[in-house]
Amino acid sequence: MATKDTKDTKTETKTETVTDLKDLGTATESTETKVSATTVPEEAKAETKTEAVTAPAPITKEPQKDSLGRSYGTGRRKESVARVWAKLGSGKITVNGKPQDQYFGRKTHLLVINQPFLVTARDGQFDIICTVKGGGLSGQAGAVRHGISRALENFEPTLRPALKKAGMLTRDARMVERKKIGLHKARRMKQWAKR
């Protein structure tokens, strides 16, 4: 019969499980004190509920400008990297010391560069100075667009939702795949002949 008593005490101790961090400190105490600790007055419960409902106000991002009133943004596309500075002005865009229409000959490249202004309805309000290197003209145009979008976001953080929805802040990760050893190109294998 002594064995039955020890089994009963073992089952009682197994039923005491810790389900919350509040119960962690009281788990070592006896069951009588645990019952008294868990009984909380209704007023205290109401106070804790009201504290949980009030949430802190969302943190708004501050505009990032240098001493000259410019905001900076780095843009990347393929192998191209663009450093872009944006400030309030008449809408003049300078790329590597040249006007945009002289540096980029194609109208599609000019359209790509001006997309952030069209999306945010800020056409003709910012002067852009950027330096871009690496890659070809299409990659450079995409890099400048990415940099302009980031610079506009740093200048005026309220423009972020419109730019994000249009996909202007996402870096396009598509790049040329590297050539592998034993292959002619990135994936082109050597020609196999049966005989």
CATH number of the structural domain spanning residue 87: 3.30.230.10
Judge if 100 and 27 occupy the same domain.
no
91 & 149 share domain: yes
Which pLDDT belongs to residue 60? Answer: 80
Evaluate whether residue 51 is within a structural domain. Answer: no
Maximum separation of any 2 CA atoms in the chain, in Å: 100
Which residues have a Cβ under 8 Å from the Cβ of 32 and sit 6 or more positions away? none
Q: Are 88 and 159 in the same domain?
A: yes
Q: What is the pLDDT of residue 55?
A: 62
- Is 195 among the domain residues? no
Q: Are residues 145 and 97 in the same domain?
A: yes
Task: Give CA separation, 13 vs 6, 10, 35, 38, 121, in Å.
Answer: 11, 5, 15, 18, 69
* Residue 99 domain-assigned (yes or no): yes
pLDDT the model gives residue 28: 47
Residue 100 counted as domain residue: yes
In a domain, 135, yes or no: yes
- Is 183 inside a domain boundary? no
Q: Write out the chain's pLDDT in tens, 195 residues.
A: 555 555 554 544 444 555 554 554 555 454 444 444 455 556 555 555 555 556 666 668 888 889 999 999 999 999 999 999 999 999 999 999 999 999 999 999 999 999 999 999 999 999 999 999 999 999 999 999 999 999 999 999 999 999 999 999 999 999 999 999 999 999 999 999 997
- Residues 109 and 153 reside in one and the same domain: yes
State whether 86 and 15 are in the same domain. no
Report yes or no on 122 lying in a domain: yes
Expressed in angstroms, the distance from the first to the final Cα of the chain is 87
Residue 4 inside a domain? The answer is: no
User: Domain check: are 22 and 92 in the same one?
Assistant: no
The DSSP annotation for 65-133 comes to --TTS-EEEEEEETTEEEEEEEEESS--EEETTEEHHHH--SHHHHHHHHHHHHHHT-TTSEEEEEEEE
Same domain, 77 and 130: yes
d(Cα 13, Cα 8) in Å, to the nearest integer? Answer: 9
The reply to whether 79 and 148 lie within a common domain is yes
Domain count for the chain: 2
Q: What is the pLDDT of residue 195?
A: 79
Query: Do residues 98 and 149 share a domain?
Result: yes
The pLDDT value given to residue 185? 97
What pLDDT, on the 0 to 100 scale, is given for residue 177? 96
Residue 88 sits at the vertex; the CA angle it makes with 85 and 90, to the nearest 5 degrees, is: 105
Distance CA 8, CA 11 (A): 5
The range of the structural domain enclosing residue 133 comes to 71-165
